DNA sequence: CGGTGACTTGAGCTTTGTCAATCGAAGTGG
DNA sequence: CCACTTCGATTGACAAAGCTCAAGTCACCG
């Protein structure tokens, strides 16, 4: 029942009554399946619908004129990574799958209708977009203040926390189907350097990143390096 | 009539009728005057009101556990830098004045009342918070993909554009009351390095940054270095 | 079996940071 | 008005983090 992932996430932050939830459920299209590395929405597109990631991973990215690409955020089941399109018609970045993914869509027309009828739902969705902002702000701090090792550790800690609340972590281990090259694009580092950081983490028994699976070996150390702050809101 | 700055900015992005605008005006408290470097809201505070910057400059910042501070964004007249507090009760960052500033406040109670009565106003405010996000995303690209000189150039180009739409640029010159140390905190660079970049810009006749005033001398070059993209939404 | 994509490794180099000192303007108390 | 302090800007010398280039390895796939 993949659609429940979205509901689950929404309920983490907002109090919604059953009627709100079923109104929302009712406008989500049947799930579509996307392969790995498929573009869901492209920068410049005029969006007429927003999506919900039901399973799998996705990421948002933007290329700077220099041709360098920056990954802005990673997304997991339950996320609505292009909800902002509801009010900002023109996409300012790309949204791409990182793994095969199940995606549901909600047309903006239907969303507006449902929000007008149920203001509390509108507020809950607004809040979701604000939480998105919080993550971006943390990301800025990450890029601006931390060394390479700190950035990697932070990213892992953040994902660990988010996947944890969605029940996607088992035995301090989770799937994260990303290449080192994408990690580099996310963290503003070179591939070579990412590789070296990961190796040193492995050697020091901090964490292991192999075959798309992350294994946390020394959480204390990771949190210390990455200075991750759960930041309960 | 400083409150008109807010209205002016809102109307840039949303169509609002006079009644919406006057409803909003009516809940803004009389302006308060803040000196330079005064904290308006602090990380961890539970916010019960949001502010509107009527004149002057402010910035948002966050300290990473390492004690290093990161400036997240700069704000100018018309901005509502802590609007997200309406739905995210706990502040995740500080808001501080960069210069003496006039600030109006809107209590969250009143805001919620007015939004409930006028959904279009709610959407306009939601959109404002989304524009905030856009800026953060650009900032991530800035930190992640550009060299020191590019980052500085980008920041200047962004400010130039934003101040321009608010009518605060004259003769390709604008006031930006920031120290080099704060620039360093915003751009994730050391003070010394910022100083060198500014000097080289001055020497090359790209731009001049003296006594809190920025003078653009070669806009082409600035846009090229910073790769600024107006990104009309 | 050859090809492709991801990961690894080494060497040398560039950008940026650190440390330490100096300078200059503005403000303060005497 | 002068000595003194303070804060921000500036400079030089040196160190470090991270980048680029280039080559090689390894697993997988047609």
Q: What is the mean pLDDT of residues B141-148?
A: 96
Residues 184-213 on B with a CB inside 8 Å of A are 185-188
From the list B93, B122, B126, the residue facing A137 with the nearest CB is B93
Give yes or no for residue A124 having a pLDDT over 60.
Answer: yes
Give yes or no for residue A168 having a pLDDT over 70.
Answer: yes
Residues 165-204 of A with CB under 7 A from strand D: 188-190, 192-193
Compute the distance between CA of residue B58 and CA of residue B121 in angstroms, rounded to an integer.
Answer: 25
Q: Buried b vs exposed e over A98-108: b needs ≥16 C-beta within 10 Å?
A: bbebbbbbbee
What does the pLDDT read at residue B219? 86
Closest by CA position to B144, among listed A42, A135, A81, A190: A190
How near does any CA of chain A get to the CA of B204, in Å?
A: 21
Q: Which of A198-212, B129-143, B213-227 has the lowest mean pLDDT?
A: B213-227
B143/A141 touch (CB, cutoff 8 Å), yes or no: no
What does the pLDDT read at residue A1? 61
| H, E, C per residue of A146-190 | CCHHHHHHHHHHHHHHHHHHCCCCECCEEECCCCHHHHHHHHCCC
Between B18 and A98, the more confident residue is A98
Give yes or no for residue B232 having a pLDDT over 70.
Answer: no
Q: What is the mean pLDDT of residues B123-133?
A: 96
Give yes or no for residue A69 having a pLDDT over 90.
Answer: yes
Tens of pLDDT, residue by residue over B47-75, are 999 999 999 999 999 998 888 999 999 99
Tokens 């007249």 found at: B77
How near does any CA of chain B get to the CA of A178, in Å?
A: 18
Whether CB of A221 is under 7 Å from strand C: the answer is no
> What SS3 class is residue B210?
strand
Residue ranges, comma separated, of all CATH 1.10.10.10 domains in chain A are: 147-226
Whether CB of B192 is under 7 Å from strand C: the answer is yes
Total residue length of chain B: 233
A92/B137 touch (CB, cutoff 8 Å), yes or no: yes
What CATH superfamily is the domain B3-136? Jelly Rolls (2.60.120.10)
From the list B72, B89, B150, the residue facing A140 with the nearest CB is B72
Match domain B146-226 to its CATH number in 1.10.10.10, 3.40.630.30, 3.40.50.800, 3.50.50.60: 1.10.10.10
Whether B18 has its CB under 8 Å from any CB of chain A: the answer is: no
Give strand pairing partners of B227.
none
Compute the distance between CA of residue B144 and CA of residue B32 in angstroms, rounded to an integer.
Answer: 37
Tens of pLDDT, residue by residue over B17-52, are 889 899 999 999 999 999 999 999 999 999 999 999
Residues 104-123 on B with a CB inside 8 Å of A are 116, 119, 122-123
What does the pLDDT read at residue B12? 84
Compute the distance between CA of residue B67 and CA of residue B167 in angstroms, rounded to an integer.
Answer: 37
Nearest CA in chain A to B228: A65
Residue ranges, comma separated, of all CATH 2.60.120.10 domains in chain B are: 3-136
Give yes or no for residue A202 having a pLDDT over 70.
Answer: yes
Whether CB of A198 is under 7 Å from strand C: the answer is yes
Compute the distance between CA of residue A129 and CA of residue B89 in angstroms, rounded to an integer.
Answer: 14
CATH class entry, domain A3-140: mainly beta
Q: Specify the CATH number of the domain A147-226.
A: 1.10.10.10
Give yes or no for residue A14 having a pLDDT over 90.
Answer: no
Residue ranges, comma separated, of all CATH 1.10.10.10 domains in chain B are: 146-226
- Return mean pLDDT, chain A: 92
Nearest CA in chain A to B116: A119
> What SS3 class is residue B170?
strand
How near does any CA of chain B get to the CA of A207, in Å?
A: 21
* Strand-pair category, B69-75 with B58-63: antiparallel
Q: What is the mean pLDDT of residues A82-91?
A: 95
What does the pLDDT read at residue B3? 80
Q: Which of A90, A140, A232 to mutate to test the interface with B (most CBs of B within 10 A)?
A: A140
What does the pLDDT read at residue B1? 61
A136/B141 touch (CB, cutoff 8 Å), yes or no: no
Between A130 and B10, the more confident residue is A130
**What is the Cα B205 distance to its own chain's centre?**
26
């Amino acid at each position: 029942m993949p659609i429940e992932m979205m509901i689950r996430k929404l309920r983490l932050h907002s109090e919604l009554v059953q009627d709100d939830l079923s109104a929302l459920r009712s406008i989500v299209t049947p799930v579509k399946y996307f392969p790995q590395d498929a573009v869901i929405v492209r920068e410049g597109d005029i969006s007429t619908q927003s999506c919900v990631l039901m399973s799998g991973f996705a990421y948002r990215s933007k290329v700077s004129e220099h041709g360098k690409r920056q990954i802005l955020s990673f997304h997991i089941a339950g996320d609505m990574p292009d909800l902002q399109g509801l009010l900002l018609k023109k996409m300012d970045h790309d949204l791409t799958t990182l793994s095969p993914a199940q995606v549901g869509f909600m047309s903006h027309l239907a969303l507006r209708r449902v929000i007008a009828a149920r203001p509390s739902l509108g507020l809950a969705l607004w809040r979701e977009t604000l939480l998105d902002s919080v993550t971006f702000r943390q990301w800025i701090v990450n890029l601006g203040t931390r060394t390479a090792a700190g950035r990697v550790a932070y990213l892992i800690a953040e994902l660990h926390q988010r996947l944890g609340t969605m029940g996607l972590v088992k035995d301090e281990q989770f799937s994260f189907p990303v290449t080192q090259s994408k990690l580099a694009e996310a963290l503003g580092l070179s591939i070579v350097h990412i590789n070296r950081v990961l190796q040193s983490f492995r050697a020091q028994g901090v964490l292991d990143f192999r075959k798309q699976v992350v294994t946390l070996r020394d959480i204390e150390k990771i949190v210390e390096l990455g200075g991750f702050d759960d930041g309960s809101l």
